[in-house]
Amino acid sequence: MMNALTRMMPLEELIPAIEVDPNLVTPGVIGFVFTFVIAGAVFLLILDMVRRVRRVRYREEINQKLDAEFTAEADS
């Protein structure tokens, strides 16, 4: 249906052009604060993920060492 509508009317007639002052269309202080908060949250999530991955990796290394010790004791 939308395709038939655009064939009948050009897009410029459907959506009229709006003159906007580029100085008035800015994110402002609220936009910058919001962006900073989101960036901080992402940074904290990345730090948490790195800690969790490191913890899992260390646990695996310790489990491998314990298994190696156990098999060495069992072979003796």
Over residues 8-67, the pLDDT tens digits come to 666 667 777 778 887 788 888 999 999 999 999 999 999 999 999 999 999 999 999 999
Answer whether residue 16 is part of any domain: no
pLDDT at position 1 over 60: no
More reliable by pLDDT, 43 or 76: 43
Number of domains in the chain: 1
The confidence score (pLDDT) of residue 50 equals: 97
Answer whether residue 39 is part of any domain: yes
Q: In whole angstroms, what is the distance from residue 71 CA to residue 65 CA?
A: 10
Q: In whole angstroms, what is the distance from residue 24 CA to residue 3 CA?
A: 34
Q: Quote the domain boundaries for residue 39.
A: 27-76
pTM of the predicted model as reported, rounded to 2 decimal places:
0.56
Answer whether residue 12 is part of any domain: no
Residue 70, token pair as written in the block: 């156990």
Answer whether residue 37 is part of any domain: yes
- CA atoms within 13 A of residue 3's CA, in its CB half-sphere: 0
pLDDT at position 76 over 80: no
